Amino acid sequence: ELVILAARPSHGKTALALNIARHIGVEEQLPLFFVSLEQSRVELAERLLCCQARVDSHKLRKGMLSSDDMQKLIEAGGILRNAKLFIDDTPAQGMLRIAANARRLKLRQSIRLVIVDYLQLIEPDNRRDSRQEQVANISRRLKFLAKELTIPVLALAQVNRSSEDRMDHKPRLADLRESGSIEQDADTVMLLHRPEMYEPGQHEGIMEVNVAKQRNGPTGEITLTYLKQFMRCENFAVEPPFGYDG
């Protein structure tokens, strides 16, 4: 099936996708293919390391690591090294290359998931087509790829600016409609929203995932805890009042 994870820029699409990749590759020990059209392999590796080790990514970038941080990163590196996570960070690639590599990895490594970050950065086959036609063709080919390989394809996507004008700023399915047939082709659409992006100091660490479309299941909203310093998404847990012992 084709799964779309969509949001406005900087709302945590890549972070959530990497958390999914880490869960599949490390915890489930299943092979997967990650196509990164925006960030380099080194950047993704750093984010995965911090996520796995629970080490502040800012400290890693600034070289302000303690001995405890170093030990955590070494241990995390050993764990991630054993994961069958295949990354292609070639910029400006088209569906021809993505599909060819996915087929090869399905044949040789039996990959169980393809992640593409993100859909609108895939090079179109025909530059003379309108932008809507280009994106429609890309989403359709991602759908065909998922069907051909009989594995899920998770494609990240950006929604248009319409949500910025709403009181709650939450993206809706309608915000995808200008991007060709993404909504129509997708079996599942998840819309990501972080309230703190619009209300700094409030709703800190809250990530809302709206399952707005699911062809074979229920829709609804899921709340996650987003630990930005670790690039880590976890099940949402409300802190009990101070002094509460159950």
Segments making up each domain of the chain, as ranges: 2-235
Whether the model clears a pTM of 0.75, i.e. scores above it, the answer is yes
pLDDT for res 121: 93
Residue 244: cis peptide before it, omega within 30 degrees of 0: no
pLDDT at residue number 178: 63
Report the distance separating Cα 178 and Cα 132, nearest Å.
7
Length in residues, the chain: 246
β partners of residue 123: 94
Instruction: Report the percentage of the chain scoring pLDDT > 90.
Output: 56
The pLDDT assigned to 35 comes to: 97
227: confidence class by pLDDT, cuts 50, 70, 90 = confident
Residue 199 has pLDDT above 60, yes or no: yes
**Stretch 93-106: mean pLDDT:** 97
Tell me, rounded to whole angstroms, the distance of Cα 223 from its chain centroid.
16
| Residues noted as catalytic | 38
Pick the closest to residue 127 from 117, 135, 115 (CA basis): 135
Question: Going by CATH, does the domain composed of 2-235 fall within 3.40.50.300?
Answer: yes
Q: In the chain, what percentage of residues exceed pLDDT 70?
A: 94
